[in-house]
Amino acid sequence: MSNQAPFIAFRNVYKSFRDAREGRLVHALDNISLEIERGAFVTVIGPSGCGKTTLLNLLAGFERPSSGEVLLEGEAIERPGADRGVVFQEYALFPWLTLRQNVEYGPRERGIPASLVREITDRTLAMVKLAGAENRYPHELSGGMRQRAAIARVLVNDPKILLMDEPFAALDAQTRARLQQEVARVWMETRKTVFFVTHSVEEAVLLADRVIAMTALPGRLKADVEIKLPRPRDPTSPSFNDHRRELENLLRDEIIIGAATGNA
């Protein structure tokens, strides 16, 4: 049964919640149905506040759908778990733990023996190129290093899927470009499914097999585009720009609609 089930499925998902400040009801997701196959690199783009992070929070198990279901290998996602690693824009490292302790946190919580924890931590730190900075605290690391650490601490759990919520939005352009390359490389090496939320069309096209574009609120699926460009990708090539133009035109409409309804 679960062999037949798609890896991830959203089935008629609605999500609404009350806005904390204004108290009005926000319809974040409106009848989303979507399937994602194992090993895919999916990016989600859309105007700001369009519900793309809500989509990610449902997968993470941080939130539950108002109706409909979100399934992982045929089973409803009910709570957060180490099989779904989340990388936040704000890093969310534990400030009281050193880099190494942050990475070791997950395996230790799951009761993995200490010697093995050491080994997989070393391997993961090397993979994200952080070996040598293990004993520093997060506030002593640069933004790029913090985000590498945040990626390492979920990779070390060997999750089924990586959920990345605008992970590079707070970084400077150079660091962002380097980390984009690294994520692409890690994905090629591990072939983990990646669900990557971004507001940058270029980032979406650079990384993804498949770009999902969302509408302004209430969030619906606007387009689902396959990107078949060879890797590593060249953002200056004509074919890259074709994809980019297509997606930007789609989004421009949504931003205008969003502005008109006050949701941009």
Positions in the binding site for other proteins (CB under 8 A) = 60-62, 79-82, 84-86, 88, 90, 92-97, 105-106, 109-110, 137-139, 153-154, 157
Q: What is the distance, to the nearest Å, from the Cα of residue 125 to the centroid of all Cα atoms in its chain?
A: 20
Q: Please, which residues have CB within 8 angstroms of residue 59's CB and are 6 or more apart in sequence?
A: 8, 70, 72, 77, 84, 161, 163, 195
Q: Which residues of 73-109 are buried (b: 16+ CB within 10 A; e: fewer)?
A: eeeebeeeeeebbbbbbebebeeeebbbbbbbbbbee
CB of 138 to other proteins, least distance (A): 8
State which residue, 43 or 102, has the beta carbon closest to other proteins: 102
State which residue, 97 or 225, has the beta carbon closest to other proteins: 97
CB of 88 to other proteins, least distance (A): 6
CB of 215 to other proteins, least distance (A): 26
State which amino acid sits at residue 234: D
The Cα–Cα gap between 79 and 62 comes to: 6
CB of 150 to other proteins, least distance (A): 8
CB of 60 to other proteins, least distance (A): 6
Report the residue count for the chain.
264
State which residue, 1 or 20, has the beta carbon closest to other proteins: 20
The Cα–Cα gap between 61 and 72 comes to: 11
Strands 210-214, 41-45: pairing is parallel
State which residue, 24 or 139, has the beta carbon closest to other proteins: 139
Please state the φ and ψ torsions of residue 6, each to the nearest 5 degrees.
Answer: -65, 155
CB of 199 to other proteins, least distance (A): 19
State which residue, 80 or 132, has the beta carbon closest to other proteins: 80
Q: What is the distance, to the nearest Å, from the Cα of residue 212 to the centroid of all Cα atoms in its chain?
A: 12
186's tokens? 């890690």
State which residue, 195 or 250, has the beta carbon closest to other proteins: 195
State which residue, 35 or 109, has the beta carbon closest to other proteins: 109
CB of 159 to other proteins, least distance (A): 9
